[in-house]
Amino acid sequence: MDTQALETGIETKHGSSERDALAQIQDRDRDDRSLNVKPLNLLERGGVVLAPRKDSWWESRAVFNPAAYKDGEGTVHLLYRAIGDDNGAYVSRLGHATSKNGVDFERMSDKPVLAPHKDYPYDQGAIEDPRITEIEGKIYITYVAVGVPALTPGKLCPSALASTKDFMVFERYGIITPLDDIDDRDTVLFPKRINGDYVMLHRPQQILNGDYRGWKTGEPSAIWMAFSKDLKKWGMGRPIMKPEKNWEAKKIGSGPPPIETPDGWLLLYHGVDKDHVYRAGAALLDLKNPTRVIARLSQPILEPKEKYEAAGDVPNVVFPEGAVVLDERLYVYCSSASSGFSRVVTCVPHPQKRGRERVWRGGLCMAHRATLFLSLFSGGAEHM
């Protein structure tokens, strides 16, 4: 590769049409400075799969932010965050629903399966935003632990760990993020040890001038990676991904736990712009050294479009949090903006666009612009 090729990720042997496609992407990236975001939108919205139950005391107001897990029999489990009336206290609890096809879900309990409890002061205010990871045959749940009333201004919330065998009984292990005086959310575990260590992604933040900013740096909040020998004691680690584009300029955070593919760890994440619009992005981490980001899309893969994504308690939100591979398709479960009509949305790839595409850090270099994970699941992604 020559110097220009190293900077763009494109080998000079590629034809002029491919270079022209890359030039268009680079021009578009420069336009991002004016927030002229052009999402790839190569996801198919599968529709609403869960809605609030007005006759339920604990999930009448909202259901959102679902974690997803596929068991050995192919059943998809969702642990979803739910809000009831609670006299306006906005207390979050977790519910459980299952599906055989990834779309039609049945609630498995009329009661929350994991809820705040006075015996656990660190999450007695609320349990929020779960993620599910199976490691060595054991099902773990990371979640945001709120030890104060949920609507407390400027609250600092760490992340906690629990496990379950049946989604009915849970064992709590306590706080796992290393510092208790910062805000540390969007914590996900990798589904296997790497070089003998458990691996965690998290987002440490502090409050500066009334706003959440990156811990110690004061810059927009980034995704960090940390390691542990026992899942209990973690160091802070270091940042591996920082906001790069205007559509994610305010902060980024991990979505579902990384998915192992032959070409790398697929990481879906959310990015928030200066107007507080949430979009979904995608990146690829090295299999053996996941601190190394080997590919990252310059444009979001999904942005708020439907009415239920645009209006609500937190407007303009697409927030991926759960993902499973089912029947060779990637199902991504996203939260939306609405609270009174909050929904969990299934997004699946367009089957006609599952081509052998090449993906680079600066963007997609093939003209028809397949997304990163479509390439991976069709076996066509190439390393930089």
- Tens of pLDDT, residue by residue over 95-105, are 999 999 998 99
CA 57 to chain centre: 28
CA angle 29-279-331, nearest 5°? 115
What residues does each domain of the chain span? 3-377
**pLDDT for the residue 35:** 57
User: Please, what is the average pLDDT of the chain?
Assistant: 80
**pLDDT for the residue 309:** 76
> With bands split at pLDDT 50, 70 and 90, how would you rate the model's confidence at 232?
very high
**pLDDT for the residue 353:** 38
**pLDDT for the residue 31:** 41
Least confident of 23-27, 60-64, 194-198, 292-296: 23-27
**pLDDT for the residue 207:** 87
Q: Please check the confidence at residue 159 and state whether its pLDDT lies above 90.
A: yes
Q: Please check the confidence at residue 344 and state whether its pLDDT lies above 60.
A: no
16-27 average pLDDT score: 37
pLDDT digits (tens, 9 = 90+) for 236-293: 999 999 999 999 999 999 999 999 988 889 999 999 999 999 999 999 999 999 999 9
**Residue 253: other Cβ atoms inside 10 A:** 25
Least confident of 20-24, 86-90, 204-208, 365-369: 365-369
CB 134 within 8 A of CB 72: no
- CA-to-CA distance for 225 and 217, rounded, in angstroms? 16
- CA-to-CA distance for 380 and 384, rounded, in angstroms? 13
- CA-to-CA distance for 282 and 266, rounded, in angstroms? 7
CB 221 within 8 A of CB 289: no
Written as one letter, the residue type at 24 is: Q
CB 77 within 8 A of CB 71: yes
Chain position carrying tokens 């879906």: 268
**pLDDT for the residue 59:** 94
pLDDT digits (tens, 9 = 90+) for 287-329: 999 999 998 988 898 888 877 777 666 778 889 999 998 887 8
**Token pair in block for residue 123:** 């999450």
CB 94 within 8 A of CB 82: yes
**Token pair in block for residue 315:** 């407007």
What pTM did the predictor assign? 0.82
Pick 55 or 343 by higher pLDDT.
Answer: 55
> With bands split at pLDDT 50, 70 and 90, how would you rate the model's confidence at 166?
very high
Q: Please check the confidence at residue 201 and state whether its pLDDT lies above 80.
A: yes
**pLDDT for the residue 17:** 37
The closest of 110, 106, 86 to 98, measured between CA atoms, is 106
Sign of torsion over alpha carbons 161, 115, 105, 344: negative
Pick 338 or 80 by higher pLDDT.
Answer: 80
Contacts within 8 Å (CB) and 24+ apart, 216-225: 220/249, 220/250, 220/251, 220/252, 221/250, 221/251, 221/252, 221/253, 222/251, 222/252, 223/186, 223/252, 223/253, 223/254, 223/269, 225/199, 225/200, 225/201, 225/290, 225/291
**pLDDT for the residue 312:** 66
> With bands split at pLDDT 50, 70 and 90, how would you rate the model's confidence at 139?
very high
133-152 average pLDDT score: 96
**pLDDT for the residue 189:** 98
**pLDDT for the residue 336:** 75
Q: Please check the confidence at residue 342 and state whether its pLDDT lies above 50.
A: no
Q: Please check the confidence at residue 124 and state whether its pLDDT lies above 80.
A: yes
Least confident of 6-15, 137-146, 268-277: 6-15
Chain position carrying tokens 């909050």: 342
Does domain 3-377 fall under CATH 3.40.190.10? My reply is no
